[in-house]
């Protein structure tokens, strides 16, 4: 058993080293409202959405779906939506998710692509892993509406 | 039997086209890694996840090399798989178990000259319902593993009844977002009907029990971030042979997924008693490439 413990200790060291390399922050933030702060308030969220739009435009898997879009109003609506979802003082005034996506036939591939781009946009803006996960947790209930399931 | 290299080549050819195309769209690390039996999962336990990153309009493939070194044995595995539309996974694996210390037991006790046991495993898994990330009820899959022991002399001598067998399993996997310290938690449960002794390396069925039994397997892992997953696995095992008791397996693992192309898994494994040699513990290392 001592051998196993020493092996487990080595593995623990590897994990610790990996964490250090990956620059993973631990200290979890507790209050619900702080997610909005962690995203950089409305200005931070607006920047994340802008970077997300740049990623979407370059993404062959999904950019067709966004053709002919009013970019300014999409940017404002998505920013409001993420702001509201994260507990910020905003109100999403766009159309319902199911209504917006009803005729788009969004595939899982496309949904995954957008999720990936959102994560990348949050990473570009220095949003920590915990805050990313908390936002994703609040977005995932929209999946059936977006996929029209 | 030369089927495995042929099949490997066929799989490589099939996936060659996608190797030049973009890699699949599923989120990082949601293909799991390659188990010692070739199916996507952790190290010892198959998960409901399908291998590679293929999403619903894509093909994907994996190649993996794994090695476990315990006190008295060394297991080497080469595995390959393809995934169609994140719906069907087909896998092949070749296991080679170096008997190391058992060689003397076999030659002195049974007069057998055997220093290696080999097994081929052909697997298929179907995603029945759900998505591991997006469905509130998780992802559910069913799979089979057809296993063929290539060196049956030793298993037969110690009481195994058959040189081949088929495991059937049902598996559920779910990621809970921001579940623990705001980190994402992956949970898997698998029920497997099997007659395999030590996964099949010691044949199928035995003098003590020769019928199918349902075994429980489970694992859980915490994503420290999208590149690092740490967790544990447990796999219940049958105990079919009077020759030597068989114990449940468990492991503690850390997986590093720097991007979709590569996954590196390290683990401490505890295989318990294996063919009279007691308390087999050791280290496991696995490299997986996806395309």
Higher pLDDT, A99 or A24: A99
Distance of CA B277 to the CA centre of its chain: 22
Mean pLDDT, residues A19-46: 70
Flag whether pLDDT at B72 surpasses 50: yes
Question: Strand, coil or helix: what is B164?
Answer: strand
- Which sequence spans correspond to the domains of chain A? 31-147
Predicted pLDDT at B102: 84
Give helix A108-124 / helix A41-57 axis angle, nearest 10°: 130
What CATH architecture does domain B3-290 belong to? Beta Barrel (2.40)
Token representation of residue B117? 């046991």
Q: Are the beta carbons of A111 and B134 separated by less than 8 Å?
A: yes
CA A78, A84, A89, A93: dihedral to nearest 10 degrees? 60
In the block, residue with structure tokens 């080595």? A10
User: Domain coordinates of chain B in residue numbers?
Assistant: 3-290
CATH hierarchy code of domain A31-147 = 1.10.490.10
Q: Which residue has the tokens 């110690």?
A: B158
How high is the ipTM of this complex? Answer: 0.89
Q: What pLDDT sits at residue A6?
A: 60
pLDDT at B107: 85
Closest by Cα among B236, B241, B237 to B205: B241
Higher pLDDT pick, B13 / A81? A81
Which of B134, B181, B256 should be substituted to probe chain A, the one whose Cβ sees the most A Cβ atoms within 10 Å?
B134
Strands B59-70 and B40-41: unpaired
Residue B22 pLDDT more than 90?
no
Q: Which residues of B touch A113 (CB under 8 A)?
A: 25
What average pLDDT does range B62-85 have in this prediction?
Answer: 97
- Taking the C-alpha atoms of residue A67 and residue A57, their distance in angstroms, rounded to an integer, is 9
Considering only the beta carbons, identify the residue of A18, A61, A111 that sits closest to B254. Answer: A18
A136 touches chain B (CB under 8 A): yes
Q: How many helices (H) and strands (E) does chain B have?
A: 3, 14
The residue of chain B nearest to residue A145, with distances taken between CA atoms, is: B134
Contacts with A18 from chain B: Cβ below 8 Å:
224, 228, 254, 256
Look up residue A22 and give its two tokens.
Answer: 């990956």
Q: Residue B105 has what pLDDT? A: 81
- pLDDT the model gives residue A64: 94
User: pLDDT tens for residues B188-219?
Assistant: 999 999 999 999 999 999 999 999 999 999 99
Contact between chains at B27 and A119 (C-beta distance less than 8 A): yes
How far does B157 lie from chain A, in Å, by closest CA?
Answer: 31
Contact B97, B73 (CB under 8 A): yes
C-alpha dihedral over B107, B148, B95, B217, to 10 degrees? Answer: -110
What is the b/e burial string over B96-126, where b = at least 16 CB atoms within 10 angstroms of the residue's CB? bbbbbebbebbeeeeebeeeebbbbbbbebe
Residue B254, pLDDT above cutoff 80: yes
Q: A28 falls in which pLDDT band (50, 70, 90)?
A: very low
CA-CA distance, B161 to A119, in Å (whole number)? 53
| CB–CB contact B281 A4 (8 Å) | yes
Q: Which two tokens stand for residue B139?
A: 């992802």
Nearest to A11 among B131, B133, B254 (CB): B254
Neighbours of B64 (CB within 10 A): 25
Q: What is the mean pLDDT of residues B248-253?
A: 98
- In order, the DSSP letters of B50-101 are PSSS--TT-EEEEEEEEEEEESS-EEEEEEEEEEETTTEEEEEEEEEEE-TT
Q: State both tokens at B127.
A: 């995603």
């Amino acid at each position: 058993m001592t051998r196993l413990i020493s092996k487990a200790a080595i593995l623990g060291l590897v994990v610790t080293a990996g964490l250090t390399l990956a620059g993973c922050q631990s200290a979890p933030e507790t209050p619900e409202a702080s997610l909005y702060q962690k995203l950089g308030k409305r200005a931070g969220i607006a920047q994340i959405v802008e970077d997300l739009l740049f990623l979407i435009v370059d993404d062959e898997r999904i950019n067709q779906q966004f053709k002919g879009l009013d970019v300014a109003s999409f940017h404002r609506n998505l920013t409001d939506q993420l702001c509201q979802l994260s507990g910020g003082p905003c109100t999403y005034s766009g159309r319902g998710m199911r209504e917006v996506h009803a005729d788009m036939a969004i595939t899982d591939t496309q949904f995954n692509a957008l999720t990936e781009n959102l994560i990348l946009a949050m990473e570009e803006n220095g949003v920590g892993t915990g805050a990313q996960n908390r936002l994703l947790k609040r977005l995932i209930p929209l999946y059936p509406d977006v996929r029209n399931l | 039997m030369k089927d495995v290299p042929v099949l490997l080549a066929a799989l490589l050819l099939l996936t060659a086209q996608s190797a030049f195309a973009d890699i699949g769209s599923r989120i990082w690390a949601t293909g799991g890694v390659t188990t010692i039996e070739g199916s996507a999962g952790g190290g010892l336990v198959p998960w409901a996840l399908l291998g590679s990153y293929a999403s619903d309009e894509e093909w994907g493939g994996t190649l993996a090399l794994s090695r476990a070194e315990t006190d008295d044995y060394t297991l080497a595995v080469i595995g390959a798989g393809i995934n169609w539309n994140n719906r069907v996974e087909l896998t092949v694996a070749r296991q080679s178990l170096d008997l190391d210390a058992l060689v003397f037991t076999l030659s002195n006790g049974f007069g057998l000259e055997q220093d290696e046991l080999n097994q081929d495993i052909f697997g298929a898994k179907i995603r029945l319902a759900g998505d591991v990330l997006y469905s509130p009820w998780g992802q559910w899959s069913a799979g089979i593993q057809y296993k063929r022991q290539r060196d049956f002399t030793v298993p037969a001598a110690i009481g195994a009844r058959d040189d081949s067998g088929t495991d059937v399993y049902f598996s559920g996997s779910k990621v809970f977002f921001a579940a623990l310290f705001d980190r994402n938690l992956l949970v898997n449960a698998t029920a497997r009907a099997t007659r395999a002794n030590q996964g099949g390396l010691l044949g199928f069925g035995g003098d003590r029990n020769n019928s199918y039994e349902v075994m429980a397997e489970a694992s859980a892992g915490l994503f420290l971030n999208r590149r690092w997953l740490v967790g544990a696995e447990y796999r219940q095992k049958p105990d079919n042979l009077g020759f030597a008791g068989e114990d449940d397996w468990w492991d503690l693992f850390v997986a590093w997924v720097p991007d979709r192309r590569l996954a590196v898994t390290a683990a401490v494994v505890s295989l318990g008693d294996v063919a009279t040699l007691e308390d087999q513990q050791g280290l496991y290392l696995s490299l997986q490439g996806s395309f």
